[in-house]
Structures are given as C-alpha cells and as structure tokens.
Amino acid sequence: MNDVSTKLSTIRKIGFLTLDEYTMIAVSSAIEVLRMANRLSGQTHYSWTIITTDGLPVPSSNGMSYADAATYDATGDLDMVLVCGGTNVANFVNDKVVNLLRRIARDGVVLGGLCTGTFALVKSGLLDGYKCTIHWENMAGLREFHSRVKFQEELFVIDRDRMTCTGGIAPIDMMLALVRSSFGKTLVAEISNQFILERVRDGYDRQHIPLAARLGFNHGALVDIAALMEANFEEPLSAVELASLAGLSLRQVQRMFQETLHTTPTKYYLQLRLRRARELLLQSQMSITQISVSCGFQSTCHFSKSYRALYGRTPRSERAPQKSEQDFKTTASLRRDTSRARLPSI
C-alpha cells in the first residue's frame, strides 16, 4: 500500500465546511456514501459534521440548510475537511475562510473540495503544486490566474493529502474511492447496488466540458467543426470535408486547431471517438466489434491500439473491472437476502 492509500485508509471523521449557497446535491451525495457504508457494514466506520466559520447553519443554493452545524474547534480531531461551494463561491471566500483553511492545513488534516469548494483551496494557496479538479464552469478562469495549480478535467482527483471533485453526483464516485481504500471493492459494489448505480466511475472518467465553454465565444468556427465531428462518429469526415463544410480552407482549420487546442483536427477527432467508445464499453452491452464500428474504426485491431495509446489499457481489459464488480454485487445481494433480510430499505 503506498503513502496515499495509507493516508486515505485512515480517514474516519470528516467535516464538511459549507460556504453560503453551497450545492446541496454535492454535499448530500458525499454524506450518503458514508451513511450507507456504515449501514451495510453494520459498524460506524465513518462520522461526519457540518462545519461553518461561526457554527451557524448557512443556506445552500436551493435555500435549504442543514439544521446542525459546528465550528471547527467544536468538532474535535478530524481526519479530513471538505470545502463545499456553489455557483457564487467567489463571493463567500473571505479572509475568515482562508485563515481557517490554512489553520486546518497546519493541523495536518486532509483537505478537499466538493463542486466549487476547490476554489477556496486555490485562493488559500493550499493547492499550489497539487493536481485538482473543479466544475468546468470555473476551471478556465482559475487556470489563467493560478499557474502553480495543476487543473485536471477528471470527475475527481486524489493527490496526496488533497481530494477534489466536480459537482452534481461526482462526490459519490470520490467517496466510493475513499471507502474502497479501506474496505475494498465488495463494500463499494454493495453501496452502488443500493444507489442503483450502473457503474462506479474512476479516475479515468472526465467531466464533459462543452467546447464553447472551454474556448469562449470567439471561436465559433472551431465549435462548429467539433459539433460536426460529434455528429459523425460512425463514418468520420476527413479534415478536407470538415473544412469544406465550415467554409474554410484545410490550412485555416489546421492552424485553428493547433493555435487553440494545441493538436491537429485528426487527433482531436480521434480522442472524441475514443471517449465515446469508452462510454459504450462501460455503459452498454454492445460487443467490442460493434463499438469499434459505431465509433468509426476500420478494424478492432486499430481500435484496440488507439484505445490503449490513450487510456493505457485495452478495450477488453476496460470491461474486466465492470464484470468483476457485477460479481461483487451478486455476492452482496445474496448475503443481504440471508443475513440482512430484516433491515429496512433506504
């Protein structure tokens, strides 16, 4: 077990530092994983506390709030604090928040961010030299002004004593990774089965960032070409055809991709098709041959080589963990039928 895994496996007491207008779904999703881990294991492995700077509840973006809240000092020793933000997070990261986060870091507590909570860690200088992620709406602006932070486009990122994730239900995946570090795949599979999750997403999964959001409104032609690519996976268009449909020369299109995306149209198109292939591998029952054809590859051999070059694994091995997880779900279901039949449903 490496140092990172060892650190994660010791986390039991977690504080959720909620900033005004935090996203309720992100916080609730994270807490529910911990609750279900306790319930299914029959032991109180995890405990959690809602924290605010003054100990008083703050409203979430939907107007609701958790009734109970505490100050950091009142929580006792915590293993991890996750900062929880929302749409207007920049309005609520003040000196009081920054000073508190720096103090928590000095105490040796693992720090993380849910949704836009990462923003507070960035502004506190606590992610300098770290890999992290944040909701795509906030990523471009932060990247421009915080070059020492290594922003990633994944759903969640764990780097040493920092854990960050995007919004929505992505905290489920990050917290399942936390549970897995201590209790393995079996409990994770049981939790996902209870939550009706088709699969548990991992560190290879990226949040989908619309190209228009990534580039802004000054790259309409490039966005249009990308849209043409996404509409033509099974029979990919050539670079010449894409340029013609966009009313541009091939040279103009090539220069546009190189200057803006630092790649060629062909390589960008290939990445789009491989990303779609990965979605089909993990979320459908289509055969590898069918996926290869639907994503525009002339042979399964070409598909496999291209896939491995991007993701570091073959399409066949990509599906292996999913099958294994299904076996765990089946085993967990049988065990619940025999030894936990009297437990109420969630």
- Ranges of each domain in the chain: 3-194, 211-319
Structure-token pair, residue 312:
């570091």
Q: Give the pLDDT score at 84.
A: 93
Phi, psi of 317 (to 5 degrees): -70, -25
Say how far apart CA 277 and CA 243 lie, in whole Å: 25
Q: Give the pLDDT score at 303.
A: 94
Structure-token pair, residue 121:
């860690």
Q: Give the pLDDT score at 285.
A: 77
70, β-bridge pairs: 51
Q: Give the pLDDT score at 109.
A: 93
Say how far apart CA 34 and CA 16 lie, in whole Å: 12
Structure-token pair, residue 297:
């590859």
Q: Give the pLDDT score at 289.
A: 93
Q: Give the pLDDT score at 47.
A: 93
Neighbours of 232 (CB within 10 A): 16
- For residue 171, the one-letter residue type is P
Q: Do the beta carbons of residue 274 and residue 310 sit within 8 Å?
A: yes
Regions in the chain scoring below 50 on pLDDT: 1, 217, 322-346
Residue 17 is classified by DSSP as E
| Region of residue 268 (phi > 0: left; psi between -120 and 50: alpha; otherwise: beta) | alpha
Single pTM value for the model = 0.64
Say how far apart CA 209 and CA 182 lie, in whole Å: 32
The CATH label, of 1.10.10.410, 3.40.50.880, 3.30.230.10, 3.40.50.620, for the domain at 3-194 is 3.40.50.880
Q: Give the pLDDT score at 193.
A: 86
CATH fold, domain 211-319, is Arc Repressor Mutant, subunit A (1.10.10)
